[in-house]
Structure 1
């Protein structure tokens, strides 16, 4: 009887950790304008607070499995919670933007390890036939984070201060540490191969350089070429990693993954989709507060339809794909996403219209995320599954980070060239139009997918 109790306790532990991570990912967005005012910065240049966290998570995901195997799941999981709590405390104590960014990096170190290590512990602790049900249980609390995060962040800012957006993590983390010591199994595994330190360093450097390069563009001044140096450096590091991986015996991510057609398409579709849609969690709260004059709390409440409609749409993804096929479903949704992004330029003063748009956007995002995640991994063999899944997780996080950077850069650049007599809404409108073009790019990639629709649906 003891084993089911232990397994259930482990599931609850990982589920709460995932909830804490997803909550933190959304609770900050509505508080950014207030943070900017307190730290004497423009709200249009606070994207580094979000980027620092997302980029750190993306960089460390490839190392999470190796660290757990080398030092044990319990030790690494507890370290993850501790680093997340320490980063949260440092965020709350920050008195400058630079300190806040460094503190978010500490948070990101913890956030990058919690779910992968927790998922690994579950995979090795319960029968494989129960894994799908177990992960469904773990994921459900995490889906609540985006629902309550924006509104909770806005409420804390209004009734207390922005510091509580981070301090709220501390009691949960303390409980998590105590429970982890009793519940988390101490599992280790000998892989029989060395970790690809050089490949990891090259990829980490590339991700950092590309994100920083895009961020630097938002602060662009004539004659300053720092952004170009970072972007070129990032591209060169990626090329260097490709050359290294092509002859290495055990590279971090085998190049053979890209010989699988569906993975190749899914990889690039994920990147462009995230670069477009990833900007919205930053832009929409700013749009509602700076462009529509909503309070932080009300702008947070307005974000709830995105998460609720995403949860509802997820129930119908399988039915849609079975009826119309991956290619037709994903291509149609990509076109509708571009139209939805563009439509934000049409209802500048209608809150009801904005809520409807956000609901539609959440549903489309849910369908796309499930579809391209599945198609990318569908045709990988057993040997390719693990590195393919890890690389997909990395590119999703990196795409989200690049999306935040792209959205902030577009908004800042358009703000600099806003014609006289136009409000800040002009900058938002053109940013939405460019992002619509980015999310449309995957629709052309989906044409390369096999037509897997039923015969009566094919043309």
Structure 2
């Protein structure tokens, strides 16, 4: 196989992994009320199957770079697809919420390696201007998944059963496994340093404790338990700093944060994604539970978000070249936050055209936001730090999705319990999540001015 053919095969294989992950992230949301009825749980309790998946991916993502160095990207990528397929089969065969959560954890173990190892494989195999084109090609898979996911999920629920939203991953994964074995060459194993299990344990403890503090798993003494878990999360996070400073090869070098735009971009990404990640979870629930939409109808209503997001990617390079990262992100963040707040206006009396306009504005601005945030965060890293920085960035992305779903779902329950109205609970939750997104604009004000010629690539989310 020629070098060009090898690169093309690599891009298609990585695209399959991105597509599976993107499809699975969005296809579940429109089916949550149906799953809740089948497993005899409250619809908002379904946030646990989303959080279990994303939190598992966040916990294991830091090990992806080391695994690729130790065992080779081909072998690890094959195992990750296999685990994702097995987890999908387990999800399709689940009969209770606990079984489904366990299966989603298994699925998340495989999914944790799909995105970072795929991106790392491309980063190592393709360089220069070809890297920009490679990311552009791969991003198409990340765009098609969200376009098909909600509608496909709604159609499966109405025409068949919700189990098929997971089983659809089986033929896609089988094609990916064949492609890996057939086309992906054996890569040379790197001399991987010993894995930092202590550092990974400290950061994992921080993430788990923080996530559980937002939604404690017990009904009694929730306030005290939340305070204790927040304290534990803070202690483990601060303990990592002196530990990493004195360890020769820590999980994430503190030197990463000397690149100012990486630090600012990471914090801004976390805040912004917490707000926007609540939308795909809350919107289908509100549409089905409060507006009376069918699963397919609510899935179709997600199409303006995905289509506008795909179309808007062609604008991002010109806008950043003209205004710079700092100005663009400041203005665009305000638009994303305002559009999230506008979802609170959705009601049976709001014209369909107005709903579609709000959805399209959110989709376009959110897509450009992701592209700009991804680029400005990773662009200044050296080749030596690219793998570590990429893993940390992917971990923060997954963590933000889980936090967005946890916070958004918890806010609905709190407001519903206080005001006695689920409809008002959804509206106030959208307002709060929009404000969280707006707060990230203050973070992006601290960006160093990026070169005007450095336009972002439409990289995968």
TM-score, normalising length: structure 2 = 0.92
Contact 2:330-2:441 within 8 A present in 1 as well:
yes
The Cα shift of 1:156 comes to: 0.2
Contact 1:121-1:187 within 8 A present in 2 as well:
no
Provide the C-alpha distance between the structure 1 equivalents of 2:273 and 2:392, rounded to a whole number of angstroms: 14
The Cα shift of 1:314 comes to: 1.3
- SS of the residue 2:61 aligns to: helix
Contact 1:150-1:301 within 8 A present in 2 as well:
yes
TM-aligned CA distance change 1:220 to 1:331, over 3 Å: farther
The Cα shift of 1:301 comes to: 0.6
Any idea what the Cα deviations from partners look like across 1:142-177, whole Å, max 9, x if unmatched? Answer: 210000100000100001101111111112222322
Contact 2:81-2:173 within 8 A present in 1 as well:
yes
Contact 1:279-1:403 within 8 A present in 2 as well:
yes
The Cα shift of 1:192 comes to: 5.1
Name the counterpart of 1:246: 245
TM-aligned CA distance change 1:304 to 1:385, over 3 Å: same
Provide the C-alpha distance between the structure 2 equivalents of 1:374 and 1:168, rounded to a whole number of angstroms: 32
Instruction: State how many pairs are aligned.
Output: 450
Pick which of 52-61 and 182-191 moved more.
182-191
Name the counterpart of 1:457: none
TM-aligned CA distance change 1:428 to 1:264, over 3 Å: same
Name the counterpart of 1:264: 263
Provide the C-alpha distance between the structure 1 equivalents of 2:427 and 2:120, rounded to a whole number of angstroms: 43
Contact 2:70-2:192 within 8 A present in 1 as well:
no
Matches within 5 A, 1:80-229: 80-125=80-125, 130-191=130-191, 193-216=193-216, 221=220, 225-229=224-228
TM-aligned CA distance change 1:191 to 1:148, over 3 Å: same
- SS of the residue 2:248 aligns to: coil
Matches within 5 A, 1:25-64: 25-64=25-64
Contact 2:304-2:360 within 8 A present in 1 as well:
yes
Name the counterpart of 2:440: 442
Provide the C-alpha distance between the structure 2 equivalents of 1:128 and 1:414, rounded to a whole number of angstroms: 51
Name the counterpart of 1:365: 366
Contact 2:64-2:391 within 8 A present in 1 as well:
no
- SS of the residue 2:366 aligns to: helix
Provide the C-alpha distance between the structure 2 equivalents of 1:71 and 1:196, rounded to a whole number of angstroms: 16
TM-aligned CA distance change 1:316 to 1:21, over 3 Å: same
The Cα shift of 1:81 comes to: 1.3
User: Structure 1 unaligned runs (5+)?
Assistant: 455-459
Pick which of 340-349 and 82-91 moved more.
340-349
Name the counterpart of 2:65: 65
Name the counterpart of 2:14: 14
Name the counterpart of 2:324: 325
- SS of the residue 1:345 aligns to: helix
Contact 2:32-2:43 within 8 A present in 1 as well:
yes
TM-aligned CA distance change 1:324 to 1:130, over 3 Å: closer
User: Structure 2 unaligned runs (5+)?
Assistant: 453-461
The Cα shift of 1:333 comes to: 1.6
The Cα shift of 1:52 comes to: 1.1
Name the counterpart of 1:417: 418
Pick which of 65-74 and 359-368 moved more.
65-74
Contact 2:412-2:422 within 8 A present in 1 as well:
no
Contact 1:68-1:188 within 8 A present in 2 as well:
no
Contact 1:71-1:188 within 8 A present in 2 as well:
no
Any idea what the Cα deviations from partners look like across 1:48-103, whole Å, max 9, x if unmatched? Answer: 11111111111111111211221222221221111111101111111111110110
Name the counterpart of 2:234: 235
Q: Does 1:398 align with 2:396?
A: no
- SS of the residue 1:225 aligns to: helix
Pick which of 337-346 and 298-307 moved more.
337-346
Provide the C-alpha distance between the structure 2 equivalents of 1:223 and 1:398, rounded to a whole number of angstroms: 22
The Cα shift of 1:278 comes to: 1.1
TM-score, normalising length: structure 1 = 0.92
The Cα shift of 1:221 comes to: 5.0
- SS of the residue 2:445 aligns to: helix
Contact 1:30-1:154 within 8 A present in 2 as well:
yes
The Cα shift of 1:106 comes to: 0.8
- SS of the residue 1:19 aligns to: helix
- SS of the residue 1:315 aligns to: helix
Contact 2:116-2:391 within 8 A present in 1 as well:
no
TM-aligned CA distance change 1:310 to 1:87, over 3 Å: same
The Cα shift of 1:355 comes to: 1.6
Q: Does 1:378 align with 2:376?
A: no
Provide the C-alpha distance between the structure 2 equivalents of 1:418 and 1:207, rounded to a whole number of angstroms: 31
Any idea what the Cα deviations from partners look like across 1:183-206, whole Å, max 9, x if unmatched? Answer: 222224323522211111111221
Provide the C-alpha distance between the structure 2 equivalents of 1:2 and 1:248, rounded to a whole number of angstroms: 42
